[in-house]
Amino acid sequence: MKEISGGICAPKGFASGGIHCGIKKGSQKKDLALIYSPTPCAAAAMFTTNIVKAASIQVCRENIDNGKLHAVIVNSGNANACTGQDGLDSARKMALLAANVLGLDKSQVAVASTGVIGVPLPIELIEKNIDDLKLSLRDDMQGHEAALEAIMTTDIRKKEISIEIEIDGKLVRIGAMAKGSGMIHPDMATMLCFITTDAAVSIDTLNEVLRNAVKKSFNRVTVDGDTSTNDIVLVMANGQALNEAINNKEHRNYEVFSSALEYVCIALAKMIAADGEGATKLLTVTVKGAFCEDTAEKLAKSVASSSLVKAACFGADANWGRVLCAMGYAKAEFSPETAGVVFRSGAGEIEVCAGGVTVLFDEVKAKEVLSQSEIEILINLKDGDGTASVWGCDLTYDYVKINGDYRS
Amino acid sequence: MKEISGGICAPKGFASGGIHCGIKKGSQKKDLALIYSPTPCAAAAMFTTNIVKAASIQVCRENIDNGKLHAVIVNSGNANACTGQDGLDSARKMALLAANVLGLDKSQVAVASTGVIGVPLPIELIEKNIDDLKLSLRDDMQGHEAALEAIMTTDIRKKEISIEIEIDGKLVRIGAMAKGSGMIHPDMATMLCFITTDAAVSIDTLNEVLRNAVKKSFNRVTVDGDTSTNDIVLVMANGQALNEAINNKEHRNYEVFSSALEYVCIALAKMIAADGEGATKLLTVTVKGAFCEDTAEKLAKSVASSSLVKAACFGADANWGRVLCAMGYAKAEFSPETAGVVFRSGAGEIEVCAGGVTVLFDEVKAKEVLSQSEIEILINLKDGDGTASVWGCDLTYDYVKINGDYRS
């Protein structure tokens, strides 16, 4: 497996584009994106588990029901959530507009939205600019960059990846882009993530591979404990790599494709955590030696979600008591009296807790370790073999600033 | 029922005191408190549900096991949590030291601690100053103020209340003080709260009344989603009011006493929320019309815990979509399409959402309503009769500042 350039346009036969249509007011930032494969794609998606679901989520679910897609249209600047029947009508129209310019049936187009909740979607702006959106489609570098820009909201960093693997002597590519910075605390699916691949994969297998990858990637990210109304991860596989279709778990190439997709998802998950609203540091919390993987995940997620742990990381304060405290209320079993905690970063590592109590440690060294932009919190338990890593970020003044006045 | 002065010394027969013994380094702030009733008290307590429990919690639980107490000794500046066997020894010694100077058995003394986790408790400082602590005992205004000061950590406001009720023609008093500002997200009991009363109440009834009151007060407060290792609510009833003992739920005075205790607990719970670390605003989230009270509580707690809702309140941003979003991931059932949201404060009230979608509202008015120091978020559902209020606070720059470097 090697990383290549091209993002979502790296796989053969995918084009994408993005324009400014006016949903993001008072700026010329792009706010409308399109991804298109002339070849029909097997498609799979996962959606938010929030009871309050955006209209786009509901329409996307309808259209992806048969596992086949040609395109996806996405807007930023407006979540089209809590918008009632008008919102549903707009989401359906959005799919129809894209279908019409591409010569497709509307059921072949997925829809996604991200932005402010509760404001009617100005569908007329999309209608007015749909031809320009089609004209923006390219399969080269500018295509994927324009689409990537058009799905960003409070994101600062661009989040995309593309890789190449070999399957049966054929080169297979996977490209992906994501947005997400606040309201990040996935619980099944998360934020917006679009994955393209030219692998030949059956619909059922694509679904299964996606579910496994999301469980170990996006569902292990937290920025602020808020599970969004609009989360979606969508993968489209158009088969242009001409490999023998991977159509079940026993297929000899299932593992290599599955691992590659998991790699892509984890890479994007970490980018989302590092670009959490206001974040200055990427936190990786790893729990080892838990009763089982689920327990390790619960404990790690509780630590990564703790406002106190996050603020301590911002302040480079080796306050390991908060780490144990956060595990203690995770509603998962562990033995505090044998727990150990180590902080690690590019500046080295430092043990701060062993056997559940403090270890005499060098505060100056600890401060240095915790002052780096990527910090690992390693928790060693002696309860079993369960291991899991969860990604998060620090809690900063800027998180408060960004969210104190997001709408204006 | 009327509010009176005197705090925990308002009930007959209680004395309290507080001194600086040196646990809080680099300041002369008080850090050691004592509450004492020469008459034996019926006692009841609730403790944190965090798996990581402070040594003081474990010792306190042992000593209160028989439902009888004469005194409680409390230190601030050190949580005595994650301190292993040494911590347990220190907590037991702390009770013994107080018992010795008061001429009691150590099992008649409760112990509590609050402060930094994972640092050994300097029990020698308590031993050295135990006589001074006894000398500080008074049953007048200075006694309760000294004790109150001595249990504070990052608290800015003093949190106490005392009330008087009449039972069978006898005046009965309840006094209480609490500390708690960060690591506040109770899940059974919370922070430190000490309640005194001169009511005659049986141990079992006192337990029952306390559990009911805590469920509707402290367990409905959240500051930062972190459930502490040291939470304790303790009530001592010495019977000095000479009312006929309230010894079961059918007793004719059960209701009046129970309501009074609930009133005291709710008042302190609100003070804790208003004094949340860095907070500038008290938020009261009320859900009405839920399927049942439990559902209403879960939904309200999810809204009050949302970092995004809290930051929006800080910025006086009427971003009601975040309110619905937070209910959506509360893991409780409700019908989004009939939900309504109103913001209310001393500056008036404004409806922002009805039938699950936006209501055209005056942004200037909304800003004014949300700029007050006490804000109510009223959520109306049409699912049933369940109602609950939860108290929280806004998320501010100062929360990050306080917790970025708490230990130093």
The chain B residue lying nearest A316, using CA atoms, is: B404
Pairing of strands A386-393, A282-290: antiparallel
Dist. CA B321–CA B317, nearest whole Å: 11
Question: A372 and A404 in contact (C-beta within 8 Å)?
Answer: no
Q: Does A334 contact chain B (CB < 8 Å)?
A: yes
Does A329 sit within 8 Å of B185, measured CB to CB? yes
pLDDT above 70 covers a percentage of chain B that reads 94
The packing angle between helices A397-404 and B397-404, to 10°, is 170
Span B97-118, pLDDT tens digits: 999 999 999 999 999 998 888 8
Between the two ends of chain B, the Cα-to-Cα distance in Å is 44
Res. B214: pLDDT tops 60: yes
- Mutate: best of B49, B50, B51, partner A, most A CBs <10 A: B51
Does B315 sit within 8 Å of A403, measured CB to CB? yes
Does A225 sit within 8 Å of B322, measured CB to CB? no
Q: Does A301 contact chain B (CB < 8 Å)?
A: no
Within 8 A by CB and 6+ apart from B405, the residues are A315, A317
Does residue B190 have an active-site annotation?
yes
Query: Average model confidence (pLDDT) for chain A?
Result: 88
Does B183 sit within 8 Å of A311, measured CB to CB? no
Tell me which residues of chain A, numbers 174 to 213, contact chain B at a CB-CB cutoff of 8 Å: 182-183, 185, 187
Residue from B190, B196, B284, B286 carrying the catalytic annotation: B190
Dist. CA A385–CA B292, nearest whole Å: 41
Within 8 A by CB and 6+ apart from B202, the residues are B42, B245, B246, B247, B248
Span B128-144, pLDDT tens digits: 999 999 999 998 878 89
The structure's pTM equals: 0.78
Q: How many angstroms separate the Cα of B192 from the Cα of each of B144, B210, B213? A: 15, 14, 15
Does B333 sit within 8 Å of A403, measured CB to CB? no
Any bridge partners for residue B167, and if so which?
A: B170
Three-state DSSP class for residue A283: strand
Three-state DSSP class for residue A90: helix
If you search the block for the tokens 């007329």, which residue do you land on?
A124
How close A382 comes to chain B (CA, Å)? 16
Q: Which of B229, B317, B327 sits opposite A328 (nearest CB)?
A: B229
Question: A152 and A176 in contact (C-beta within 8 Å)?
Answer: no
Res. A75: pLDDT tops 90: yes
Q: Give the model's pLDDT for residue A211.
A: 85
Does B52 sit within 8 Å of A320, measured CB to CB? no
Question: B37 and B70 in contact (C-beta within 8 Å)?
Answer: yes
Overall average pLDDT of the B172-178 stretch: 89
Residue A189 confidence class, pLDDT cut points 50, 70, 90: very low
Please state the ipTM of this predicted complex: 0.73
Residue A97 confidence class, pLDDT cut points 50, 70, 90: very high
Does A401 sit within 8 Å of B225, measured CB to CB? no
Q: Does A228 contact chain B (CB < 8 Å)?
A: yes
Q: Which of B319, B328, B396 sits opposite A52 (nearest CB)?
A: B328
Tell me which residues of chain A, numbers 47 to 86, contact chain B at a CB-CB cutoff of 8 Å: 49-53, 79, 81-84, 86
